[in-house]
Amino acid sequence: MPELTIGEVAHQAKLRTSALRYYESIGLVSASRRVSGQRRYDQSVLQRLTVIQLAQEAGFTVAEIKALFFSFPPETPAFERWQAMAKEKLVQINGLIQKAEAMKMLLEEGLLQCRCLTLEECAQCISERQP
Amino acid sequence: MPELTIGEVAHQAKLRTSALRYYESIGLVSASRRVSGQRRYDQSVLQRLTVIQLAQEAGFTVAEIKALFFSFPPETPAFERWQAMAKEKLVQINGLIQKAEAMKMLLEEGLLQCRCLTLEECAQCISERQP
DNA sequence: ATAATTATTAAAGTGAACTTGAAGTCAAGA
DNA sequence: TCTTGACTTCAAGTTCACTTTAATAATTAT
């Protein structure tokens, strides 16, 4: 199994080399080095990056993803890690959804229904709708 | 009608004086000055700030709010301004909601159901669920 | 051998909406 | 008058996940 250059990894994982260097700088992935200093990646980094992208899609920050990998006792099963972290995240996401739904409401039922001629009037017009 | 100091306005509008100075710096609100240089605000600034906060709750950026006030021909009725700007914003917000719902799905149906022992396995385990 | 490509680093930049800090000035009450 | 407390400006800091830049070095292809 050949080792991969940073460019090859970037290509396969569909991200930029700068992102890989950034991940390394925060300790999220690691690479070995040639004598010259160039990075060489093991194939397994691709799985690691897939998991990182998966976690990002679920709304985790890179700091949280780092915690996912490194803040549990080494033998902790993956599903336990997800359990622990996904529960909290769900609460956050639900908050996000609620906020966005509230914005949608305000836009549809408030601002798009408004008949004020001046914006100054709107200081009252909307609040009257929510007693 | 007495004019208001920046501290009084901040108190009544529930924001910091730094926010008021920032709004002024970007041209969102204005204030007159005493000879000494201190700001004095007209009562009407409170309505203006109410509208700003309303628009922010609906998801508008301060740049967009500035456009709401200043980028239309002067006689444009408020409701027309809202119409124009709220439609686009609704599209954005719907996108936001979809993204958040997708995260929720992934958390609930993917990560919380996962039985993998290692995170490396998870590189496959989730994608298998979505053919 | 040489040209073209890809790699290296550290530091600074991005966007959004402010906040913080430093250093100094003004206003009002005792 | 003195002392608080509120005010002033300007620049830099905050958060997040990277990207960009610049100057240089190594690898690969011809």
A125: confidence class by pLDDT, cuts 50, 70, 90: confident
Q: Which of B128, B122, B94 is nearest to A86 (CA)?
A: B122
Residues A69-102 have pLDDT tens digits of 999 999 999 999 999 999 999 999 999 999 999 9
Phi-psi category of B38—alpha, beta or left, where left has phi over 0 and alpha has psi -120 to 50?
beta
Phi-psi category of B37—alpha, beta or left, where left has phi over 0 and alpha has psi -120 to 50?
left
**Contact status of A91 with chain B (Cβ, < 8 Å):** no
Within B 9-68, residues with CB less than 7 Å from strand C: 15-16, 18-19, 21-23, 34-38, 56, 61-63
Please give the mean pLDDT across all residues of chain A: 95
Residues A3-19 have pLDDT tens digits of 999 999 999 999 999 99
In this predicted structure, the answer to whether residue A111 has a pLDDT above a threshold of 90 is yes
Q: Give residues with Cβ within 8 angstroms of A118, minimum separation 6.
A: B77, B78
Mutate which of B119, B124, B127, B128 to test chain A, going by most A C-beta atoms within 10 A? B119
In this predicted structure, the answer to whether residue B15 has a pLDDT above a threshold of 90 is yes
Instruction: Please list, residue by residue across A15-29, b when 16 or more beta carbons sit within 10 angstroms of its beta carbon and e when fewer do.
Output: beeebbeebeeeebb
Q: Give residues with Cβ within 8 angstroms of B111, minimum separation 6.
A: A58, A82, A86, B126
The rounded distance, in Å, linking the Cα atoms of A62 and A85 is 13
Smallest CA–CA distance, residue A36 to chain B, in Å, is: 30
Cβ neighbours of A100 (radius 10 Å): 21
Residue B121: its chain A contacts at CB < 8 A? Answer: 78
Instruction: Please list, residue by residue across B20-54, b when 16 or more beta carbons sit within 10 angstroms of its beta carbon and e when fewer do.
Output: beebeeeebbebeeeeeeebebeeebbbbbbbbeb
The rounded distance, in Å, linking the Cα atoms of A8 and A24 is 16
Q: Which of B105, B122, B130 is nearest to A57 (CA)?
A: B105
Average pLDDT over residues B31-37: 95
Smallest CA–CA distance, residue B125 to chain A, in Å, is: 10
Find out whether A19 and A10 touch, Cβ atoms under 8 Å. Answer: yes
Find out whether B90 and A108 touch, Cβ atoms under 8 Å. Answer: yes
Yes or no, beta carbons of A106 and B81 under 8 Å apart: no
> Among all strands, which nt has the closest C1' to A40 (CA)?
C7
Strands A32-33, A39-40: pairing kind = antiparallel
